[in-house]
Structure 1
Amino acid sequence: MSPSRILFLTFFLCCFYNKISAQAISVNSTAIPADLIQNVLINSSCIDTESVSASGNPTPNQQSYGSFTGGANFPFSSGIVLSTSPSKKAEGPYIQQESKGTQVPGWNGDTDLNQALGINSSTQATFLEFDFTALTNSISFNYIFASNEYQLNFPCIYSDGFAFLIKEAGSTENYKNLAVLPNTTTAVSATTVHPKIDNMNGAGGEPLIGCAAVNENYFNGYNTTSSPINYAGQTVVMNAYTDVIPNKKYHLKLVIADDATRQYNSAVFIEAGSFVTKINFGEDRTVANNNPICFGENYVLDTNISSPAYTFKWFKKDASNNYVEISGATSSSYPVQTTGMYKVEANLTGSTCISIGEITIEFAPEIQSTNTSLLQCDDDADGFTIFDLTKVANIVKNNNPQITNQGYYETLADAQAKTNPISNPQRYTNKAQNQIVFARIENAFGCSAIPQITLNVSSAVIPNQTPIAKCDEDETQDGLYQFDLATEVTPQVLTGLPPGLIVNYFLTASDAVTETNQLPNIFKNTTPNSQTIYARAANGSNCYDITPIELIVHTFDPPNFEDVTQYLCKGDEITLDVATGFSSYTWSNGSTTNSTQVNTAGDYSVTVTDVNGCKKTKLFKVILSEPATITGADVKDFSGIDNSVKILYTGVGNYEFSLDGNTFQDDPTFTQISPGIYNAIARDKNGCGPSNVFQIYVLDYPRFFTPNGDGYNDLWAIKNIDQMPDYTISIFDRYGKLLKQMNQNGSGWNGIFNGREMPSDDYWFTLLFVNGKNVKGHFSLKR
């Protein structure tokens, strides 16, 4: 390489190094403790310091505290650094390979830090401590915590510790740690501030378990090789704050220490000049903070600083967002009357110390309330009754859903102090005529208004009510009736009363007063025949009067009023009747006496009424009946024991049937009929007479005959066949030879053919009637 190229490269590297160095902080590790406190940390004539001391790395020329400057990308342009390693090692950039620390023999931890953080194993502690006296009532300073433990999964397991410890100088009380997360007592550390850490493998491939994010919003991020400090990660700018008592001496100890492993170092950077004292009025009193000043409240801003030693100026921002001095406001306190941003400057006489306090004040809107009254009925006319104070809950707050009711009180003082509330405002008994009680209502910010409620007892009277009488109209006459109170009772109650009243009903007068157990509009009395209920007439929340009403239920269940069926013979007339003695009768055919004549079948009814106007209806079913007319018969004969007869008839009655006029049956079919001549008849069960007589012949043939001349069964003949229409009987032997033919004039077959006696045997016959009926069979000849 040519000399010119070597020269150019050297120049370039120097420029590049200077550029990198310009981005990193520069640490002065030789600064003395008093200079760090009095000239770097504190820049205020309102704070006096003394007794400054420090301790850290015991290795010569390796001081672990110092001042720093520079760092274009670092939030603080200068300040103090306290570290668990030589403070010079805090200078950037971050080099991960050098992040592991070195154990220094004889460099111990800090017992105050151990106690404050609840640990017992801190090592390599560095601290600055001093006494100070503030001339106002609060102090604060800014800081950043940085650590090489912000790598791998270390924040899931362990962290170096640091604290800003304060207590009254010379006292034995415990220190208070100011290095905590806002509005908590949680100390800031790598384990309490970090992002989500996933599971991973270590350098040797071993599994490392991650953990969820903790207070990630306070983590500024991981550092790189271009970072101004030599730490793996850091928090955002944090603020340490506490209230103090003006002119009281305090001791402050700023301390950081390594954990027991001593392997990865940490540091805390404190911004130069950020240690200031302010007049603290507390947080802003605004709607956004949910704590505005209540309308009409006398609110005073108080510096709590002795007036003779200070002069005061009070300011308020104008419309242009500029502070304008308030004329005449020169005392240590100022009564605020309007919304705005306020500031006070307290100047210590004879010094340049000027302490400043600022606060934003907003006044909540006025709570709109309404005084009202309650008008209640008195069930015993003694002037004392039970009021439901909650009935005016919406009225007193003007129906504003954003306002809440916070109780009712007997005195204004109790309502204002929110003490001794009425324990049961739904059932409050007045203690005097026209008594006034007080309702406390509040907005979302706890501001209150106290409207009044006047308790009045109604003197209005509802006239005595006549009983409401109804008839028990269902099938079970038990004296119970389902009243429609709105249509059957309310119109009577409201007669003659002022318009606009609403009537509700209750079982007892006490329930009516307290409006408990209100009856449904459709009400069935629970006491048979007679029950008294109570009507309460009211206009909104005001009771007009309460009156009893008797509900009467009449029963009406006359005897012998079941539905009946009666029969009317064709061409006749019958009488339908019920008992005498009822107030009225109304028949379905128009009759109005206890009986009526009818000559037509159909459904009839009579409704009777008793002296109470209750009705009962009886139904009559009239059925037409007449004698039957027998028109014929279906006869099954020549069948031995299976002979049967079915009587054929017409008519609309209810009939029974007989073949002999003595024995009757409901079925017109008769079975197992012996051969013979029968006189069939039908008669009406309803008494409308018998039918015509109809003669029926049932025939059958002998199954054998014995022509032996003894006079018994000597001829084979069919009995009563001569009464039948013309017929022809032909007799054959087993070979089909015709042996005999007979008609109505024949007397029978004697068993002789051509003068010769036929032998004992079976013979066949054919019976053919002129109407086409054909009967075949066989019989035996026995000798």
Structure 2
Amino acid sequence: MNYVKVILLICLLLCIGSKTSAQNISVDPTVTPDVLVKNILINSSCLSIDNVSASGNPLAGQQSYGSFTGGSNFPFSTGLVLATSASKNAEGPYNQATSIGVKVFSWNGDPDLNTALGTSTSTHATVLEFDFIPSTNSISFNYFFASNEYQSFYPCSYSDGFAFLIKEVGTTDPYKNLAVLPNTTTAVSATTVHPKINSAVVEGTPKPGCEAVNENYFNGYNPASSPINYAGQTVVMNASTDVVPNKKYHLKLVVADDLTRNFPSAVFIEGGSFLSKINFGKDRTFANDNPVCFGENFVLDTKLNGADYTFKWYIKDASNNYVLLSGATTPTYAVITPGTYKVEATLNSASCTATGEISVEFTQEIKSTNTSILQCDDDTDGITFFDLTKVANIVKNNVSQITNQGYYESLANARNKVNPILNPKKYFNKYPNQVVYARIENTYGCFATPQIALNVSPYIIPDQPPFTTCDEDQTQDGLYQFNLAEQVTPQITSTLPSGLVVNFFLTADDALAETNPLANIFKNTVPFNQTIYVRAINGPDCYDIAPVELVVHTFDPPNFEDETLYLCKGEEMSLTVASGFKTYQWSNGETNNSTIINTAGDHTISVTDSNDCQKTKTFKVILSEPATITGADVKDFSGIDNSVKIVYTGVGDYEFSLDGSVFQDDPTFTQVRPGIYNAVAVDKHGCGISNSFLLYVLDYPRFFTPNGDGYNDLWTIQNIDQMPDYSVSIFDRYGKLLKQMNQNSSGWNGIFNGHELPSDDYWFTLLFVNGKIVKGHFSLKR
């Protein structure tokens, strides 16, 4: 049983190996160049081929070109391969260990390839070239490039090169390379097509990486099971070019190593893909961003001689089948409806039928409107400048998807998009009633050319009287603001047709050019008298431009500043301003230059001059009256910190005194000496003096000297006898009571129990009948 399993496993592995091997391409390096070109590359009777030749690896038995047969997972079923090593080495699988290749120093490069790629270092060149005569206007074939340089950091710096070079036989024209990236002149190579490559360390040396380049054309790195023996390859690409039917061309297919002769490369060309076709160019569709413009005379042209060919034209129907267009038998066909079109051109002298196909779509019609601009003329000569851009939206019917592509003096220039007007915002017409043209385009470059008539306005704004205002700010400098919309516009528009809009400008040139319009609130920039300009418009059209005079009157009477006065309570006063003004208006309604008032507050007088400019003065009348002193906050027994704060009522502005001779603004007095005071307050504005208020400031002596000299022999508190009932208790430093006194006591003489007490510090407690307590200490000095 185990023996049977082993046999089955061996068979399975053999089958798998056979299947894997079958996926590799098979290369035949013995095929002649003539067979490669005429039987493998080209499968068309519409091409005449001659002068086929090839060259490559000089080593015997290692031809570097050949035919191949591809497996099911290879892009091409058959074709030819041109390599920089033996073509047989192109067969898979991929073997990285041998990918560096073998250097053959007797195998040189190709000068035409060097010229095409801008180098001089090609080596190991393999060339297949031939002449051909096409019967149609286009050729193309399919290919892809494979290389062992698609590993490590190499594509950042190195690449083998290849080119498909074509030129007309018998001319000195340079070769044109067809092996380029689509819609560019960039040659296809490992350095121009690769993914992002990370830095690497090669033989101990760091090598920098590089960003991806045209990665969308890179098909990928090849695994060990690849059907070809190369590290990576591009996607399948197409080489094509336009040709002239019946002219002879030379085509040179060449691939070569770079100077290093390492890591071989190859080009694989699909068998039978070299075709002579009729090329109408890219599909004219929205997807390609090039649909045919509405109204365009779009003709499909085979560029073939009608006498040599028979033509059939087709269009695809809704079922995706081609339907013969009856009567269409000429080399050209005018397309008027969208669709996919095909032509078959059969050469009358041979069994050669070439085809061409194209899809066509049409854009919508561009709607445009002819219009005119009515501009004002500053000197009535019929020549002025116009802002053509003002009608930019009108000519394109306000369609945002349509763009303005310039303005032109002639219809031919507009159609050909040449010689545009360089400054359309300030274009001077060449003659009265001139017509210019706008060019408007859709996103596909389709255009229309509406015309714009340039006309000069015949209308006139009547002369306007000056617009006046008074300088009402604090600085009478003749500069003040105008509300143009309210003060000027209504008067101007009252004399114009309804519907016109007016704008104002500092200068006539600004008004003509419609630049720097003034704001509605405009402060004149020239004192007292300034001329600005009004422009009346109807949409984009100018009705007329006219001067507008602005006058600013000043009014600054002397001695008219605001004034503050004081009114004594119960009295009245006269308020007076100068005579000679046009009008007077007091806030109490009187209209003379003076008035009698008996109340405090703001009293205003407004006067006007001959220009009706107004000036207002405010008399700020403040009520005043004598003060009434109601009391005093006395801080005593504090030595130099004794103070008195007079408490009063009244609405006046007062100054205060404790002795009736020295006055101060503050009702609080500091550093008040002990004594008896009669406080008063006087109104500063002559409204009288207050009542007199009697107050006492008391303090105790800080020491006494009871030595019998008649001076300071008793310790007593001055003026305390004027106070309500009280008692004074004196103690020594140990708290022993030594003396008690009241209103009837004359003071203490420093004797206790008939004995003189020594010099020392003593303490007292003063207790008033109202509960106030004062404590302190003093010194007895002998």
TM-score, length-scaled by structure 1: 0.80
How many angstroms apart in 1 are the aligned matches of 2:641 and 2:9?
143
Match of 1:317 in 2: 316
How many angstroms apart in 2 are the aligned matches of 1:62 and 1:690?
137
Residue 346 of structure 1, CA deviation: 1.9
Match of 2:67 in 1: 67
Residue 441 of structure 1, CA deviation: 1.2
Match of 2:160 in 1: 160
1:645–1:673 contact (8 Å) kept in structure 2? no
Match of 2:301 in 1: 302
How many angstroms apart in 2 are the aligned matches of 1:630 and 1:8?
134
CA distances 1:69-88 after superposition (whole Å, capped 9, x unpaired): 35222222222223333333
2:674–2:696 contact (8 Å) kept in structure 1? no
How many angstroms apart in 2 are the aligned matches of 1:171 and 1:252?
13
How many angstroms apart in 2 are the aligned matches of 1:622 and 1:156?
95
How many angstroms apart in 2 are the aligned matches of 1:521 and 1:118?
68
One-letter amino acid of the structure 2 residue matched with residue 250 of structure 1: Y
SS of 2:38 mapped into structure 1 = helix
How many angstroms apart in 2 are the aligned matches of 1:697 and 1:39?
142
Match of 1:217 in 2: 216
2:46–2:353 contact (8 Å) kept in structure 1? yes
Residue 490 of structure 1, CA deviation: 1.8
Match of 2:39 in 1: 39
Residue 368 of structure 1, CA deviation: 0.7
Q: Does 1:584 align with 2:583?
A: yes
Residue 48 of structure 1, CA deviation: 1.0
Q: Does 1:277 align with 2:266?
A: no
Residue 343 of structure 1, CA deviation: 2.0
Match of 1:124 in 2: 124
Match of 1:290 in 2: 289
Residue 561 of structure 1, CA deviation: 1.8
One-letter amino acid of the structure 1 residue matched with residue 169 of structure 2: A
2:627–2:681 contact (8 Å) kept in structure 1? yes
SS of 1:603 mapped into structure 2 = strand
- Paired residues in the alignment total 756
How many angstroms apart in 1 are the aligned matches of 2:690 and 2:17?
144
Residue 57 of structure 1, CA deviation: 3.2
Residue 211 of structure 1, CA deviation: 4.2
Superposed, which structure 2 residues align to 1:150-299 within 5 Å? 150-199=150-199, 210-299=209-298
Match of 1:57 in 2: 57
Match of 1:389 in 2: 388
How many angstroms apart in 2 are the aligned matches of 1:143 and 1:339?
33
CA distances 1:446-487 after superposition (whole Å, capped 9, x unpaired): 221111222233333433333322222222222222222212
Residue 505 of structure 1, CA deviation: 1.1
How many angstroms apart in 1 are the aligned matches of 2:641 and 2:241?
126
1:298–1:335 contact (8 Å) kept in structure 2? yes
CA distances 1:507-563 after superposition (whole Å, capped 9, x unpaired): 223322221221111111122222222222222212233333322222222222223
How many angstroms apart in 2 are the aligned matches of 1:258 and 1:178?
19
Match of 2:737 in 1: none
One-letter amino acid of the structure 1 residue matched with residue 186 of structure 2: T
SS of 2:578 mapped into structure 1 = coil
How many angstroms apart in 1 are the aligned matches of 2:6 and 2:571?
152
Match of 2:397 in 1: 398
How many angstroms apart in 2 are the aligned matches of 1:26 and 1:656?
126
CA distances 1:558-617 after superposition (whole Å, capped 9, x unpaired): 222223344445554432222222222222223222222233444322222223222222
CA distances 1:641-694 after superposition (whole Å, capped 9, x unpaired): 999999999876667899999999989989999999x99998766456778999
How many angstroms apart in 1 are the aligned matches of 2:543 and 2:61?
97
Q: Gaps (5+ residues) in structure 2?
A: 698-703, 706-718, 724-743, 745-782
How many angstroms apart in 2 are the aligned matches of 1:670 and 1:96?
109
Counterparts in 2 of 1:577 and 1:195: CA distance versus 1, 3 Å: closer
How many angstroms apart in 2 are the aligned matches of 1:291 and 1:16?
51
How many angstroms apart in 2 are the aligned matches of 1:667 and 1:216?
93
1:25–1:70 contact (8 Å) kept in structure 2? yes
Q: Does 1:595 align with 2:594?
A: yes
Match of 1:349 in 2: 348
One-letter amino acid of the structure 2 residue matched with residue 355 of structure 1: A
1:143–1:269 contact (8 Å) kept in structure 2? yes
1:24–1:72 contact (8 Å) kept in structure 2? no
Counterparts in 2 of 1:57 and 1:690: CA distance versus 1, 3 Å: closer
Match of 1:88 in 2: 88
Match of 2:142 in 1: 142
1:23–1:72 contact (8 Å) kept in structure 2? yes
How many angstroms apart in 1 are the aligned matches of 2:23 and 2:194?
25
One-letter amino acid of the structure 2 residue matched with residue 51 of structure 1: N
How many angstroms apart in 1 are the aligned matches of 2:635 and 2:206?
110
1:138–1:280 contact (8 Å) kept in structure 2? yes
Counterparts in 2 of 1:597 and 1:308: CA distance versus 1, 3 Å: same
Q: Does 1:549 align with 2:548?
A: yes
How many angstroms apart in 2 are the aligned matches of 1:614 and 1:2?
127
Residue 44 of structure 1, CA deviation: 1.2
Moved more, 452-461 or 90-99: 90-99
Counterparts in 2 of 1:383 and 1:263: CA distance versus 1, 3 Å: closer
Counterparts in 2 of 1:110 and 1:371: CA distance versus 1, 3 Å: closer
One-letter amino acid of the structure 2 residue matched with residue 298 of structure 1: N
How many angstroms apart in 2 are the aligned matches of 1:104 and 1:697?
132
CA distances 1:177-220 after superposition (whole Å, capped 9, x unpaired): 32222223333333433334445566x88866654433333333
How many angstroms apart in 1 are the aligned matches of 2:4 and 2:624?
148
How many angstroms apart in 2 are the aligned matches of 1:452 and 1:693?
102
Q: Does 1:535 align with 2:534?
A: yes
Counterparts in 2 of 1:2 and 1:30: CA distance versus 1, 3 Å: farther
How many angstroms apart in 1 are the aligned matches of 2:643 and 2:115?
124
Match of 2:779 in 1: none
Residue 275 of structure 1, CA deviation: 1.2
2:531–2:549 contact (8 Å) kept in structure 1? yes
SS of 2:282 mapped into structure 1 = coil
Superposed, which structure 2 residues align to 1:441-590 within 5 Å? 441-590=440-589
Counterparts in 2 of 1:495 and 1:177: CA distance versus 1, 3 Å: closer
How many angstroms apart in 2 are the aligned matches of 1:255 and 1:368?
54
One-letter amino acid of the structure 2 residue matched with residue 235 of structure 1: T
Counterparts in 2 of 1:117 and 1:595: CA distance versus 1, 3 Å: closer
Counterparts in 2 of 1:609 and 1:253: CA distance versus 1, 3 Å: closer
How many angstroms apart in 2 are the aligned matches of 1:271 and 1:474?
92
TM-score, length-scaled by structure 2: 0.80
Q: Percent identity?
A: 68
Counterparts in 2 of 1:483 and 1:298: CA distance versus 1, 3 Å: same
SS of 2:397 mapped into structure 1 = coil
Counterparts in 2 of 1:387 and 1:54: CA distance versus 1, 3 Å: closer
How many angstroms apart in 1 are the aligned matches of 2:650 and 2:73?
124
Residue 274 of structure 1, CA deviation: 1.2
SS of 1:415 mapped into structure 2 = helix
Match of 2:773 in 1: none
SS of 1:113 mapped into structure 2 = helix
Match of 2:437 in 1: 438
One-letter amino acid of the structure 2 residue matched with residue 55 of structure 1: S
2:309–2:348 contact (8 Å) kept in structure 1? yes
One-letter amino acid of the structure 1 residue matched with residue 412 of structure 2: A
Residue 47 of structure 1, CA deviation: 0.9
Counterparts in 2 of 1:633 and 1:223: CA distance versus 1, 3 Å: closer
Moved more, 626-635 or 500-509: 626-635
Moved more, 151-160 or 490-499: 151-160
Match of 2:778 in 1: none
Rg (Cα) greater in structure? 1
SS of 2:491 mapped into structure 1 = helix
2:641–2:670 contact (8 Å) kept in structure 1? no
Moved more, 429-438 or 35-44: 429-438
How many angstroms apart in 2 are the aligned matches of 1:395 and 1:292?
26
How many angstroms apart in 2 are the aligned matches of 1:572 and 1:9?
136
1:642–1:673 contact (8 Å) kept in structure 2? no
Counterparts in 2 of 1:132 and 1:496: CA distance versus 1, 3 Å: same
Could you say what the CA RMSD is over the residues aligned between the two structures, in angstroms? 5.4
SS of 1:342 mapped into structure 2 = strand
How many angstroms apart in 2 are the aligned matches of 1:632 and 1:159?
112
Residue 394 of structure 1, CA deviation: 0.5
Residue 396 of structure 1, CA deviation: 0.5
